[in-house]
A and B are shown apart, each in its own frame.
Chain A
Amino acid sequence: MQFDGYLAEIRFGAGLSPLLPPPASAADMLERLQETDVIAQRFPVSRFEDVAAGVQEYRQLRRARKEQQDAAGAEAAQQAFKSYRRSQNRLRFEWHGQRLLRMVHSRDGFRERLALFWADHFTAQGKTGAWRHLAAPYAESVIRPHVVGRFEDMLIAAATSPLMLQYLDQSRSSGPGSRAAARRKRLNGLNENLAREVLELHTLGVDGPYSQADVRQLAELFTGLSISKEASFVFRPGMTEPGSEAVLGGTYGGGKPKLEQVLEVLRDLARHPATARHLARKLAVHFVSDTPETALVDHMAARYLESDGALLAVYEALLEHPQAWAPELKNVKPPFDFVASACRALAVPAARIETFKPGQKNRLLLAPLTPMGQRWEFSSGPDGWPEADTAWITPQALAARLRWAMAAPRRLLQELPDPRDFAQNALGGYANERVRFAARAAETQAEGIGLILSSPAFQRR
């Protein structure tokens, strides 16, 4: 069980492409990760800080609509709000399309996969209309810059991101003994949501060595992490709980409240052995199999600890382990990855997708993810999308995959490839006899392509 370029593209990348050669070695994959992120420049997605002001604009327009009531400007205010909402929806379709095109045209598919993995690990989504459009910009400028960096930097970026603070109710959490609570009785008080998820999901893991007391203490330490009116991060000393807090046996805070006290606990959590194990296992589950071998997890966790959470070293540990190259395809691609890898195998030109109107992009590429079980940017909770194959391959969701595979390619390309060639393009050596037979025996080209994309060989990686 050793490196195989085709397997590298299928398992660790965005799938095979008839246009782009697979990487030559694991070292080649790691090298590409360290080069400039050219594909992000070619298909840009707005940075969070550049579009976060939309939150304020949304609220202003909504307020204007409310204040106009029956006044003369009511209709205009209503229209202004509506058209703003529409423009934000279009941005969502646009950014989804850009992220898809990166998967289709990148020479560095591993980076795309890592960007998706970590954005899911730190799931944050807008809970209200004003924040709804920000999930992609968050993934772009909060998560993506750190995927080849140190885990603690990504953790700090995520835990102080306005979207995360809004999503997990941190921004209004105030210490019971804080100045803000003394001034205003109707403050909501302490909210443990972010503190709990940082321990349970982001760092130590649900089986990690922490107690409810640690959650409570961490929540008290997190008070002050908040959001400005313009939806940027702000530390509000007035909301902080006075005194020091004990988390996992360490003492933090005390004295004058400072953001640095919060960053300190986050760094310690990032370097905890339980975090190393939790992240190693999660990466192995995501990239290799729902039930990875202990040896692989141990190997990655050890490297994580040795390198103080340098993620590149952890990826190197993953790629050098023989378990990573077991030839049998295991994990089911989640719907976004399925659709993206299909577009990559079909070599859908960027220019073609760019000609689609926002509504077409939505109907063809984004809306179909919902019946497949992945309503885009609406995962059911902060734990993100499921990893288990059985969560994705339900009768209803499989039917949706088949429907898309049969009908969408004809709209994505002006001319479909010959199914017999396509089987080779899409699957290389994984085009087994059943797939080749179906490609020959299908009555139409569209069905032939649809069947190849529907095959377990294509849907697993």
Chain B
Amino acid sequence: MQMTRRSLLARSAALGCSLAASPLLTPVTFAAAPWDTRLVVVILRGGMDALDVVQPYGDPDYAGLRQSLAGGPAAGAADLDGFYALHPALAPLLPLWRAGQLGFVQAVSTPYRDRRSHFDGQDLLEAGTAGPGEAEGGWLNRLLQQLPGVEARTAFAIGQERMLLMEGGAPVSQWAPGAGLAMSPQAERLAGLLMEEDPLFRAALNEALELTRQDLSLDLGQEDGSSDEGEDMMMSMMTAPKGKAHQEVAAYAAQQLRGETRIAAFSINGWDTHQRQANGLKNALGRLSEAILTLQSGLGPQAWGKTAVVAVSEFGRTVRENGTGGTDHGTGGAMLLAGGAIRGGRVLGRWPGLAETDLYDRRDLMPTADVRGQLAWLLHGLTGAGRSGLQANVFPGLDMGADPGLLL
């Protein structure tokens, strides 16, 4: 049975008024979306070591703090501006840096302090509040609640990770590439028949089938779901995707962003480098770099030109290397920006220094700016969201301060 978006909608039209408000059935409009820029938010879970990614080799104290993790041009990192150097695993992004499409903000953090728990740190980063429980859901969702013309496809949370920053009252879409339903035509027809009597199940099934069809990561033509391979595939997709999952996620994000979607969010994990960071960070940065390049190629020059990618982590790491070739949970971190809409080629942020008295708690990079302020200015520039709403609702209680000029 071939079902197109249009036939799906024709069927949905008969569902009755109780479903009219369902976000799953928000009708597709081909009118211009409320704004035309694209935003991709990447949550780097685990705590990215800012000092090893954007290496402050010009700081006199840097070399003494990092031994097996020594950085700077002498260790093979590309010099960025005479003070900072870029970790070699991000070298594939150097063309973007030279084109002004890659930038960083150093020494930023959320208001989270002291306990250094991933769990609480990520919650606060995604909640966008000063403390836990101060607002409902996440900051991206509260942004959507401020903007006119938002529909279910306007924002997309992608992947199997829970994305708290997208949760809340505004409709959003969510899908993990490869999460699709590869059933035989007969099973699909019978599943449709079973769900028909239950509006909640019917709407979810129709949306799942529709998203499956759009999902280029599945080669549906070869699977009929009843074969052994089909079943193995059905089971294998249920465990956490490994290896190339980040590329699938990025490709899927790009595909949606070329259409009606304006905001996408996903996670890249693996930043908790307590030991053998040389290895672990290289792998994580490789995934980040591949994800960004996949977004660029997937979006194409025109959409990429209107895109800002922002990657943030729950906290930075200790400035001193620990005894196992790694670093422990810290405070101040770095934010990565990429895309044609950003004014890159620069490392922004006030550098606090690395002398012991300059550190937070004598161990962590001192945050010199609230990461929420940077995010708020990005949202303001990209979507036109007003400053007062951003400060009152999206990031409650935030003072945005002066425009850091992250965008072109």
Q: Which A residues form the contact surface with B (CB < 8 A)?
A: 65-69, 74, 78, 127-128, 169, 188, 193, 196, 332, 363-364, 367-368, 370-371, 375, 380-381, 389-390, 393-400, 402-404, 406-408, 410-411, 432, 434-435, 437-438, 441-444, 446-447, 450-451, 454-456, 459-460
Contact status of A459 and B201, CB under 8 A, knowing A127-B119, A395-B211, A406-B187 = yes
Are B239 and A363 within 8 A (Cβ)? yes
| A219, chain B: closest CB distance, angstroms | 14
Are B200 and A443 within 8 A (Cβ)? no
- Give the contacting residue for A447; candidates B119, B181, B184; CB below 8 A: B184
Interface stretch among B55-63, B189-197, B342-350?
B189-197
Interface membership of B322, Cβ < 8 A = yes
Bound Cα distance A435, B120 (Å) = 45
The dominant DSSP class at the A interface is: helix
Please, what's the 1-or-0 string for B259-294, where 1 marks a CB less than 8 Å from any CB in chain A?
A: 000000000000000010000000000000000000
- Give the contacting residue for B208; candidates A370, A396, A441; CB below 8 A: A396
Are B231 and A442 within 8 A (Cβ)? no
Are B190 and A438 within 8 A (Cβ)? yes
Are B201 and A398 within 8 A (Cβ)? yes
| A407, chain B: closest CB distance, angstroms | 4
Question: What are 28 A-B pairs at a CB distance below 8 A?
Answer: A68-B323, A69-B324, A74-B324, A127-B117, A128-B117, A169-B115, A370-B240, A371-B238, A389-B200, A395-B208, A395-B211, A396-B175, A396-B179, A400-B179, A400-B238, A402-B183, A402-B208, A407-B231, A411-B235, A432-B197, A442-B190, A443-B226, A447-B183, A447-B184, A447-B225, A447-B226, A450-B187, A456-B198
Are A403 and B237 within 8 A (Cβ)? yes
Are A434 and B186 within 8 A (Cβ)? no
Q: Give 7 closest A-B pairs by Cβ, nearest first.
A: A456-B198, A395-B207, A395-B208, A69-B323, A407-B234, A399-B208, A398-B204
Q: What class of interface size applies to chain B in its complex with A?
A: 35 or more
Are A380 and B114 within 8 A (Cβ)? no
| B169, chain A: closest CB distance, angstroms | 12
CB contacts (< 8 Å) of A399 on chain B: these are: 179-181, 208, 212
Interface membership of B154, Cβ < 8 A = no
CB contacts (< 8 Å) of A371 on chain B: these are: 160, 176, 179, 238
Instruction: Choose among A381, A389, A443, A446 the residue with the greatest number of B CB atoms under 10 Å from its CB.
Output: A443
Contact status of A395 and B191, CB under 8 A, knowing A371-B160, A456-B198 = no
Contact status of A394 and B201, CB under 8 A, knowing A69-B324, A399-B179, A407-B231 = no
Interface membership of B98, Cβ < 8 A = no
Contact status of A451 and B190, CB under 8 A, knowing A393-B204, A398-B204 = yes
- A-B pairs under 8 A by CB, number: 144
Are A442 and B238 within 8 A (Cβ)? no
Q: Which B residues form the contact surface with A (CB < 8 A)?
A: 24, 114-115, 117, 119-120, 123, 132-133, 160, 162, 164, 174-176, 179-181, 183-184, 186-187, 190-191, 193-198, 200-201, 204-205, 207-208, 211-212, 225-226, 231-232, 234-235, 237-240, 275, 322-324
Bound Cα distance A438, B183 (Å) = 14
Are A454 and B194 within 8 A (Cβ)? yes
CB contacts (< 8 Å) of B197 on chain A: these are: 432, 434, 456
Are B162 and A443 within 8 A (Cβ)? no
- Give the contacting residue for B238; candidates A196, A394, A404; CB below 8 A: A404
CB contacts (< 8 Å) of B239 on chain A: these are: 363, 367-368
